[in-house]
């Protein structure tokens, strides 16, 4: 590595040509880059939200979150189930295993 650095120090023209080549190559490849304002990403989380008007967080947990979690326990392809209970609303997040079809899993969760 030291020899290479010493060679470029002694041959400034070659160093400048290499730098120019790298800059030109980079400038020519910019139009080939795929850029999107809203890139398509695969989301592997299914969110279930249930509204329970007038219920306390403990009521929402017992009546909504725990029941949904118990129904989902038997499904294959689920990595993790987590839930949040707050006043009047409960939310259950289902994380799908990598490689599973999320839309198919969503249909199974809805059933």
Domain ranges, residue 76: 45-110
Instruction: With a cut of 90, say whether residue 106 has pLDDT above it.
Output: no
**Number of domains, the chain:** 2
Identify the pLDDT of residue 30: 92
Asked if residue 101 and residue 67 are part of one domain, the reply reads yes
Residues 23 and 51 in one domain: no
The 3-class secondary structure across the chain, one letter per residue, is CHHHHHHHHHCHHHHHHHHHHHHHHHHHHHHHCCCCCCCCCCCCEEEEEEECCCCCHHHHHHHHHHHHHHHHCCCCCEEEEEEEEECCEEEEEEEECCCCCHHHHHHHHHC
When pLDDT is cut at 50, 70 and 90, the band that residue 5 belongs to is very high
pTM for the full predicted model: 0.61
Segment 69-86, tens digit of pLDDT = 999 888 888 999 999 999
Core vs surface per residue 76-109: b (16+ CB within 10 A) or e: eebeebebebeeebbbbebebeeeeeeeebeeeb
CA distance 50 to 89: 6
Q: How confident is the model at residue 1 (pLDDT cuts 50, 70, 90)?
A: confident
pLDDT of residue 53: 93
| pLDDT tens for each residue of 12-70 | 999 999 999 999 999 999 999 988 888 888 788 999 999 999 999 999 999 989 999 99
Do residues 93 and 55 both lie within one domain? Answer: yes
Same domain, 82 and 58: yes
Q: What pLDDT score does 4 carry?
A: 92
C-alpha distance across the termini of the chain, in Å: 63
Whether residue 20 is contained in a domain is answered as yes
């Amino acid at each position: 590595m030291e020899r290479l650095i010493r060679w470029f120090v002694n041959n400034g023209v070659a160093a400048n040509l290499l730098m120019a080549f790298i800059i030109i190559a980079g400038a020519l490849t910019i139009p080939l880059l795929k850029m999107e304002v809203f890139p398509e990403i695969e989301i592997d989380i299914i969110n279930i939200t249930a509204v329970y008007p007038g219920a306390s967080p403990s009521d929402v947990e017992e009546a909504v979150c725990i029941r949904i979690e118990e129904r989902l326990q038997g499904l294959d392809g689920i990595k993790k189930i987590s839930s949040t209970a707050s006043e009047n609303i409960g939310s259950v997040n289902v994380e799908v295993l990598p490689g599973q079809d999320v839309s198919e899993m969503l249909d199974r969760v809805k059933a």
